[in-house]
Amino acid sequence: MRRPQTPLRVLCYAVNGLGLGHLTRTIAIGRQIRRLCWALGEPLELVILTSSEGDGLALVHDFPAFKIPSKNIVSGGGFSAARYRKLGKQWVWNAINLFSPDILVVDTFPAGSFHELYDVLDLGSKNVFVCRAVRPDVANQPTFQSALRGYDKIILPEEDGVNDTPLPEQAQERAVGVPPILLRSVEETYEKMEARERLGIPAGVKALYASTGGGGDKDAEALFEQLVVAARALPEIHFTLGAGMLYRGREFPAPNVSWTRRPVLSECFRAFDGAITAGGFNSVWELLHSGVPCLFLPLARGWDDQEARVERCVAAGAGVRLTDLSAEAIATGIQNLPRTIPRLAPRNGALAAAEEILALVFDRKHLEDAALLCDPSVLFAAAQKGMPEETLLRAAAKRWKVTEEHSPDSAEALLQELRA
């Protein structure tokens, strides 16, 4: 049992990864952990351990981040792989030992990017693994399977209700499925016209979003160049290219092309009539959660099976698959896009994941009460009016006395009052 009013220390591990998915998921969960602690009146220390060059995303969300260079950039400093691995291991060990977390949350790599987490999973923290679906040949590796035994809870983000990552028998009872974990719920996004105004999209045109993911892919510049060539041949369509925080290539100009590096572009996804996207977890489910039909062009990844994800989404009627990025293929794909898509991701699973994590140290009934106050539409509306989330949640919790027995009806009555 934790001593009352001692800050709960949570460390989120998002080390390695070609894109921004690992960091995005940990920040999405961290936002909800922080909201729940505000509603519970519990002090919190939450930090992020990352190697992502997109660590500015943590700054945007007011999270402190401990940062090490990524594998993609370290060679530029003259480091050998062996030297970087040695430094990386020591850095992780020292950071975790110094912070001494009550809860350690790890995304995608259960043994750690350097296989260094075996040495910290038994230091007394409650350990949580966020297990986005990975290729079966990776998940069945002995290092992956053995590391899972060190976790007190395994969060399985499901894709259209499925996450079939194989788990060892003794770990299955500690696993819980949640909807896709996203940085923003659709209730926290701008309506179509306001989103278009924020992105500078001309009124009355068909608007298409295009992205290659976080931007760190070595082929990203070549893909964007192909997209702009195609865009010039389709002047009736306005293309918004999401370069991503990790993109370091050129920006190619065209009259009907705009570039954006907004760190949380999903807030504006409802601006678009369709999207060209690779098959990454975050890109796909953020777009589908906002109701945007997709032209899919999956990329090869070592851990993430983008082909399988795209095949599932196309079969469900969420979009079509592109054969290439030519103007002809894009024009044909747009013609075949469905006007509306099925609700494959009706809910954001970040809050559910945060509840499961905090249930390791807090009373679940109190957490359920607190979660009722974390209504994304209310928090978003308040933020638009200049009211900080912390102020709103602490005030609402104080009035509602979140640690007592309540019904959802009484919570809804308070939320209606807050909306007004």
248: CB partners within 8 A, 6+ apart: 215
Under 8 Å CB-to-CB from 264, ≥6 apart: which residues?
A: 57, 60, 183, 184
In contact, 126 and 133? CB cutoff 8 Å = no
The pLDDT of residue 136 is 87
CB atoms within 10 A of CB 313: 28
Residue-level pLDDT at 4:
59
| pLDDT, mean of residues 130-153 | 93
pTM of structure: 0.94
Identify the pLDDT of residue 403: 61
pLDDT exceeds 70 at position 200: yes
Span 335-353, average pLDDT: 95
> What's the rounded Cα separation, in Å, for the pair 282 and 290?
12
- Give me 50's structure tokens: 């990352």
pLDDT of residue 396: 85
Question: How far is residue 404's CA from residue 369's CA, in Å, rounded to a whole number?
Answer: 8
Residue 232 is predicted with a pLDDT of: 96
pLDDT value for 239: 97
**Is 384 exposed, middle or buried, given 0-12, 13-18 or 19+ CB atoms closer than 10 A?**
exposed
Phi, psi of 169 (to 5 degrees): -55, -45
Q: What tokens were used for 24?
A: 């995005």
pLDDT at 135: 86
Q: Share the mean pLDDT of the chain.
A: 91
Report residue 172's pLDDT band, with 50, 70 and 90 as the boundaries.
very high
Given this model, what pLDDT does residue 2 score?
Answer: 53
Give residue 416's pLDDT: 76
Q: Are 352 and 334 in contact (CB under 8 A)?
A: no
Q: What is the pLDDT of residues 25-61, one digit of tens each?
A: 999 999 999 999 999 999 999 999 999 988 899 999 9
pLDDT band at 10 (very low <50, low <70, confident <90, very high): very high
